């Protein structure tokens, strides 16, 4: 496995290329040096797009069985090099070794599902004779690849979120150019190595490393790019939408996910799930639990049990099996979270536990009585902070949960099926988990949100729908 090579070169239209100008990749835990990657230029991106034009034709012409075989072999490669993938995620990002292991396992499933869904890209027959004077026409539509997809991926899931774009794109017969997060490019380059080793034809896939400010606009605005698949924050997504022009957009833009806990819930299960949901990957999780609305009869008990479990969390070295939570992606991000918490406390919020920073580490933090005007109450924190609210009933919980600009996923804990269905009907989110945390997800389900949480849906089958378009065929019979 050429992990050292791919840590120094980018995958440009099927070739490993280096550049004199490089970007250092560092471990956020101690800022130690890991490797360098090329700092691609605008000219590099333009060349890559030109190559991808041919790659799109090659990919579209590949028979389904070949696409399936290549994707399955890429998944095999990840399994065969499991430790390298896990170790790379854990070093360059924020995840603990246990969290990185789960991500690698999920990425294998993401690719295997992509291979299977390739065989299920179906069209439909059309009854043209539903219109008068069209009785002598028969036909159908079939789904066709759209061409070149530009994918921009974040640092919090540096392998699986790349796989969620690359797997469906290739399954659908497209070319794809990936611009991974600047701070976590190594996992994406390993995925490129997996596809190269699996026999993916040149020019179909590129993973271009560099600064978004230098190459991002070229990828987003180029007319040959027919779709942008972006995972990141709302502000960046809004700028992409303004610049992109006439092309498809698929965007997952985060959230400040709510969980409702009613008095008839299993409190032990609710506590365990919400603690995990709040502090997985140091809270850098678009589905992470940020706001918990607890029915007043059980509020004190739930809070005590929650804090007791949080205080048992082991925060430390990411590569130790016993570690529950590692650092944030950078000290800058930890300072940002610290400032948000301090602002809330200054405005009257009550700190129940945590609230301390050491470099890029920020302790799991719980607040209550957070004023509505605080940024913590309105925006996505993207850090290990959760807010408690006591509510009188389900209606109040739903009203407060909906009173934000986001709507990705939510959770509700209750044993009353009527209340569960009331929440399903009234909560303005893309997904609702019953008796589970908001951060539950499987890679085959449709994934996306309402309001500022994004456009379109990911999840392999649904991503393929976004990455293809119907072509109508009609035969006029003599």
* Backbone angles phi and psi of 4, in degrees to 5: -65, -45
474 as an active site residue: the answer is no
258-442 fold? Aldehyde Dehydrogenase; Chain A, domain 2 (3.40.309)
Angstrom distance (rounded) from CA 126 to CA 279: 50
How confident is the model over 178-182, as a mean pLDDT?
A: 98
- 478 falls in which pLDDT band (50, 70, 90)? confident
pLDDT grade, residue 386 (50/70/90)?
very high
Give the pLDDT of residue 423.
Answer: 98
* Nearest by Cα to 184 from 231, 252, 217, 251: 231
Q: Can you tell me the mean pLDDT for 232-237?
A: 96
The reported pLDDT for the residue numbered 364 is 98
Q: How far apart are the C-alpha atoms of 327 and 55, rounded to whole Å?
A: 39
Residue 26: per-residue pLDDT: 96
CB 339 within 8 A of CB 321: no
Averaged over 108-126, what is the pLDDT? 97
Q: In the predicted model, what is the mean pLDDT of residues 153-171? A: 98
Which of 473, 471, 468, 474 has its CA nearest to residue 120? 468
pLDDT of residue 78: 98
**Active-site pick, 286, 331, 374, 380:** 286
pLDDT band at 74 (very low <50, low <70, confident <90, very high): very high
CA dihedral angle for residue 206, residue 212, residue 218, residue 221, rounded to 10 degrees: 110
7 pLDDT above the threshold of 90? no
Whether residue 321 lies in the annotated active site: no
| Averaged pLDDT, 99-105 | 98
Q: What is the average pLDDT across 400-422?
A: 97
State mean pLDDT over 55-81: 98
Paired with 25 in beta bridges are 35
Residue 401 pLDDT: 97
pLDDT band for position 244 (50/70/90)? very high
pLDDT for res 3: 42
Q: How confident is the model at residue 101 (pLDDT cuts 50, 70, 90)?
A: very high
Q: Of the listed 92, 117, 252, 458, which one is catalytic? A: 252
Homologous superfamily of 3-253+453-474: Aldehyde Dehydrogenase; Chain A, domain 1 (3.40.605.10)
8: pLDDT confidence band, cut at 50, 70 and 90?
A: confident
**In what helix (H) or strand (E) does residue 329 lie, and over which residues does it extend?**
none
pLDDT at 2 over 80: no
pLDDT at 457 over 70: yes
Could you tell me the two tokens for 330? 């950078």
Domain coordinates in residue numbering, the chain: 3-253+453-474, 258-442
The answer, yes or no, to whether residue 250 has pLDDT greater than 70, is yes
Compute the distance between CA of residue 200 and CA of residue 70 in angstroms, rounded to an integer.
Answer: 6
110-131: average pLDDT: 97
pLDDT at 310 (0 to 100): 97
pLDDT at 209: 98
Per-residue confidence band for 122, with pLDDT thresholds at 50, 70 and 90: very high
- What pairs with residue 295 in β-bridges? 391
Q: How many angstroms separate the CA atoms of 59 and 162, rounded?
A: 18
Please, what's the b/e burial string for 372-381 (b: 16 or more CB within 10 A of its CB; e: otherwise)?
Answer: eebebbebbb
- Contact yes or no for 210/41 (Cβ under 8 A): yes
Distances (CA, A) of 4 to 185, 322, 326, 368, 476: 13, 28, 25, 47, 59
For 217, the token pair is 């606009």
Average pLDDT over residues 316-329: 96
Residue range 275-299: mean pLDDT, rounded: 97
pLDDT reported for residue 6: 44
- 447 pLDDT exceeds 70? yes
Q: Can you tell me the mean pLDDT for 287-301?
A: 97
Assess whether pLDDT exceeds 50 at residue 405: yes
Evaluate if residue 4 carries a pLDDT over 60: no
């Amino acid at each position: 496995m050429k992990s050292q090579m791919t840590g120094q070169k980018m995958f440009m239209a099927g070739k490993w290329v280096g550049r004199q100008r490089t970007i250092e990749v560092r471990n956020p835990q101690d800022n130690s040096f890991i490797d360098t990657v090329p700092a691609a230029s605008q000219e590099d991106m333009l060349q890559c797009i030109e190559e991808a034009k041919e790659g799109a034709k090659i990919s579209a012409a590949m028979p389904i069985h070949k696409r399936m075989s290549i994707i399955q072999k890429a998944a095999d490669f990840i399994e065969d090099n499991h430790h390298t993938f896990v170790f790379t995620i854990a070093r360059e990002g924020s995840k603990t070794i246990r969290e990185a292991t789960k991500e690698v396992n999920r990425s294998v499933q993401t690719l295997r599902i992509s291979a299977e869904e390739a065989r299920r890209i179906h069209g439909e027959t059309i009854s043209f004779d539903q219109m008068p004077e069209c009785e002598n026409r028969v036909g159908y539509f079939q789904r066709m690849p759209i061409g070149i997809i530009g994918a921009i991926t974040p640092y919090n899931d540096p392998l699986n979120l790349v796989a969620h774009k690359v797997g469906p794109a290739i399954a659908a017969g497209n070319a794809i150019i990936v611009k991974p997060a600047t701070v976590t490019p190594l996992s994406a380059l390993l995925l490129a190595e997996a596809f190269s080793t699996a026999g993916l034809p040149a020019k179909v896939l590129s993973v271009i490393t560099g600064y978004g400010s230098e190459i991002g606009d070229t990828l987003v605005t180029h007319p040959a790019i027919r779709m942008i698949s972006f995972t990141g924050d709302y502000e960046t997504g809004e700028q992409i939408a303004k610049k992109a022009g006439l092309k498809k957009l698929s965007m997952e833009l985060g959230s400040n996910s709510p969980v409702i806990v009613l008095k008839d819930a299993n409190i032990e299960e609710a506590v365990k799930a919400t603690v995990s949901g709040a502090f997985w990957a140091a809270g850098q999780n678009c589905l992470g639990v940020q706001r918990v609305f607890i029915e007043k009869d059980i509020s004190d008990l739930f809070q005590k049990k929650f804090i007791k479990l949080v205080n048992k969390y082991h925060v430390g070295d990411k590569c130790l099996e016993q570690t529950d939570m590692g650092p944030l992606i950078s000290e800058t991000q930890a300072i940002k979270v610290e400032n948000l918490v301090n602002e809330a406390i200054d405005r009257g919020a009550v700190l129940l536990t945590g609230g301390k920073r050491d470099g890029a580490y920020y302790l799991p933090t719980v607040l209550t009585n957070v004023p509505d005007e605080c940024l913590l109450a309105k925006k996505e924190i993207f850090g290990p902070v959760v807010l408690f609210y006591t509510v009188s009933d389900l209606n109040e919980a739903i009203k407060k949960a909906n009173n934000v600009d986001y709507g990705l996923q939510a959770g509700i804990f209750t044993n009353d099926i009527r209340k569960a269905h009331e929440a399903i009907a009234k909560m303005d989110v893309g997904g609702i988990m019953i008796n589970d945390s908001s951060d539950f997800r499987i890679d085959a389900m449709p994934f996306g949100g309402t309001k500022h949480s994004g456009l379109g849906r990911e999840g392999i089958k649904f991503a393929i729908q976004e990455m293809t378009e119907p072509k109508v065929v009609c035969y006029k019979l003599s």
